[in-house]
Amino acid sequence: MRGLTTALALTTALFTAPLALAADTARFNWLDYQGADPSDAVVKAKPGEYRNPILTGYYPDPSITRVGDDYYLVNSTFSWFPGIPIFHSRDLVNWTQIGNAIDRPDQLDFKALGLSRGVFAPAIDYHDGTFYILNTCVDCGGNFIITAKDPKGPWSNPIWLPDLEGGIDPSIYFEGDRAWIVNNGPPEGEPLYQGHRAIWVQELDLKSMKTIGPRKVLVNGGVDISKKPIWIEGPHIFKKDGYYYLICAEGGTAINHSQVVLRGPGPMGPFTPNPANPILTQRDLDPARPFSVTSAGHADFVVTPKGEWWASFLAIRPYGDDLYNTGRETFLMPVRWVDGWPRITEPGQAIPLTHAKPDLPAQPDAKVPTTGAFQVRDEFEGDRLPPYWMMARNPKGDWYRLSDGALTLKLQPVGLSDHGNPAFWARRQQHHNATIITDMVFTPDQAGERAGLAAVQSDESWIRFTIEKEGGQLVARVAARAGKEMPTDGTVLGSVPVKEAASYRLRITARGGEYDFDVAGAGADWQPVVKGADGTILSTKKAGGFIGVMVGLFAQGPGEGK
């Protein structure tokens, strides 16, 4: 495995507010993440090959663009902050996060939204010296554009697109000094069935940044409405050999997900479906096959300087019957052109876990690994966290400080179920099998004070592993919530008494659908707290939503708060 100590700078000054050390704080000296998947022991990339997925863990809805020799990629982050990561690469294989497009609390307000609301499916593009991201803030403003001269940021405040009301997944197509926005939206008239949507197009005036002219439906329902296709979405328009192509996801984001393509004489259509659709899917494969990849779709295309076409798209690697805790991940595959139509997979073709690299200049491995088995250790050096750390919703209050080689959290009266902004900084669980360890200095004074680790899939589905006080006794305790019907403070899965120590090491070990929890005082051996806890409660299949598990550092004090 590759090791790493990192302290990349977040492109925002979130950590400059002072926070006095006090009894109601927890100090975390480091966090170590180590992960691997069962396929890593069998599937090996040969020289000249890359590993799929290229971004493991919760990196859904990828959109990609090229500027000269540089490639940029963005993903959905929903109600996590900072949001919309910006990745950079020069070989389409090794990716480095260079910032977050939503990194100021005044850009968007996620309020008390569920963690799978917020920013859906961003689309990134570049035109005439400016980068554009089109996006939807679901239940928090609607569709918008943000711009930047440098993809690292700063990105502008949102420019809202009210004509796209009710729609999601906007993207932009440029031609000369004109531009068109294409997006998913409700169909004309009443929907004919559940999941009946449409793809719309409208011109955008680049000077006023307002939509102009008529809105037009390009696709009603899907490529064949007689079959009642659901959730036509994620549209992108591009031009090749005189044709305008429209690519879209179809079939929903579960196992029937796919990618389809249509073409026409102009950006306003009319568009005719490819008779060989879909051009990407895994729904026609045996779900029980070894190391399966499922639910593939939501693609975006990019062309290299040598004319190679490549597609980034999302897919899922389950550990069981459509069970996965890592969320939807970013994959890469070449695009072939056959009789004037693009194709990513042939019918019945499995998405490969290794593939020959693009014909691009060789680049060094990314300093922060994003694929395969790896280890990342955060020592909390400097004054800013790496950009892959996120919190639930917009920051409220001065509850964190990064200084003196540690991350200090102030206990907040906000729990993991409160739809608020708990004292919780987290990073993605990126493997089915993962070990997360931290070293924490914390002594609770009273019942209700707790600090430690948490693994969160949603406000209703999480596992908490903390040091607490009960009846005057210090305990290490594991509690979980598995659905809205469960108590908001969770149900205790297990506790063990611990001696007061200068610091505590807490360890979470994920093994597919099971999680282990161990504790050790300073200089002491590991002591089991809970073994084989049901981790499937953190799977998307059971918890719902669109994200993957976020695991990190948590602190809570008594009281109620939002």
Domain with 243 in it: what CATH number? 2.115.10.20
Using the 3D structure, point to which of 329, 356, 383 is the last residue of a domain.
356
pLDDT for residue 6 is more than 70: no
Are 332 and 401 members of one domain? no
Residue 22 has a pLDDT of 63
Name 478's bridge partners.
465, 494
175 is annotated as an active-site residue: no
Q: Is residue 23 part of a domain?
A: no
Q: Is residue 22 part of a domain?
A: no
Using the 3D structure, point to which of 330, 356, 382 is the last residue of a domain.
356
Using the 3D structure, point to which of 356, 391, 407 is the last residue of a domain.
356
Q: Is residue 52 part of a domain?
A: no
Domain that holds residue 155: 62-356
The enclosing H or E element of 540 equals: helix 540-543
Are 273 and 128 members of one domain? yes
Residue 383 has a pLDDT of 87
Are 168 and 295 members of one domain? yes
Are 346 and 434 members of one domain? no
Q: How confident is the model at residue 559 (pLDDT cuts 50, 70, 90)?
A: confident
Indicate the range of 8-12, 184-188, 265-269 predicted with least confidence: 8-12
Catalytic residue, from 32, 233, 300, 449: name it: 233
Q: What does the mean pLDDT of the chain come to?
A: 94
Backbone angles phi, psi at 40, to 5 degrees: -65, -25
DSSP 2: B
Q: Is residue 271 part of a domain?
A: yes
Residue 541 has a pLDDT of 95
Residue 191 has a pLDDT of 97
- CA 280 to chain CA centroid, Å, is 21
Residue 176 has a pLDDT of 95
CB 126 within 8 A of CB 133: no
Are 334 and 394 members of one domain? no
Are 344 and 421 members of one domain? no
Q: Is residue 18 part of a domain?
A: no
Are 391 and 344 members of one domain? no
Catalytic residue, from 61, 203, 329, 516: name it: 61
Task: Determine the Cα angle at 496 with ends 493 and 501, to 5°.
Answer: 135
Q: Is residue 363 part of a domain?
A: no
List, as one string, the DSSP characters of 242-305.
Answer: TEEEEEEEES-SSTT-EEEEEEESSTT---EE-TT--SEE-TTS-TTSTT--EEEEEEEEEE-T
User: Quick one: average pLDDT of 438-462?
Assistant: 97
pLDDT for residue 13 is more than 70: no
Residue 561 has a pLDDT of 53
Are 294 and 403 members of one domain? no
Counting residues of the chain whose pLDDT is more than 90, the rounded percentage is 94
User: Quick one: average pLDDT of 5-23?
Assistant: 41
Are 144 and 265 members of one domain? yes
User: Quick one: average pLDDT of 312-320?
Assistant: 97
Tell me whether residue 206 is exposed, middle or buried, using C-beta atoms within 10 angstroms of its C-beta: 0 to 12, 13 to 18, 19 or more. middle
Q: Is residue 6 part of a domain?
A: no
pLDDT for residue 453 is more than 80: yes
Are 378 and 349 members of one domain? no
- pLDDT, tens digit, for every residue of 373-428? 999 999 999 889 999 999 999 999 999 999 999 999 999 999 999 999 999 999 99
- How far is residue 279's CA from residue 347's CA, in Å, rounded to a whole number? 8
Are 333 and 456 members of one domain? no
- How far is residue 416's CA from residue 419's CA, in Å, rounded to a whole number? 7
- pLDDT, tens digit, for every residue of 535-544? 999 999 999 9
Q: Is residue 17 part of a domain?
A: no
Q: How confident is the model at residue 4 (pLDDT cuts 50, 70, 90)?
A: very low
The dihedral through the CA atoms of 255, 261, 267, 268 has a sign that is negative
User: Quick one: average pLDDT of 46-64?
Assistant: 98
CB 187 within 8 A of CB 195: no
379: CATH: 2.60.120.200
Residue 287 has a pLDDT of 83
Are 196 and 158 members of one domain? yes
CB 122 within 8 A of CB 135: yes
**How many structural domains is the chain composed of?**
2
Helical residues (DSSP H) of 401-470, grouped into ranges: none
CB 348 within 8 A of CB 284: yes
61 is annotated as an active-site residue: yes
Q: What is the chain's Cα-based Rg? A: 23
Nearest to 475, CA basis, from 454, 502, 504:
504
- How far is residue 84's CA from residue 73's CA, in Å, rounded to a whole number? 10
- pLDDT, tens digit, for every residue of 91-112? 999 999 999 999 999 999 999 9
- How far is residue 290's CA from residue 357's CA, in Å, rounded to a whole number? 23
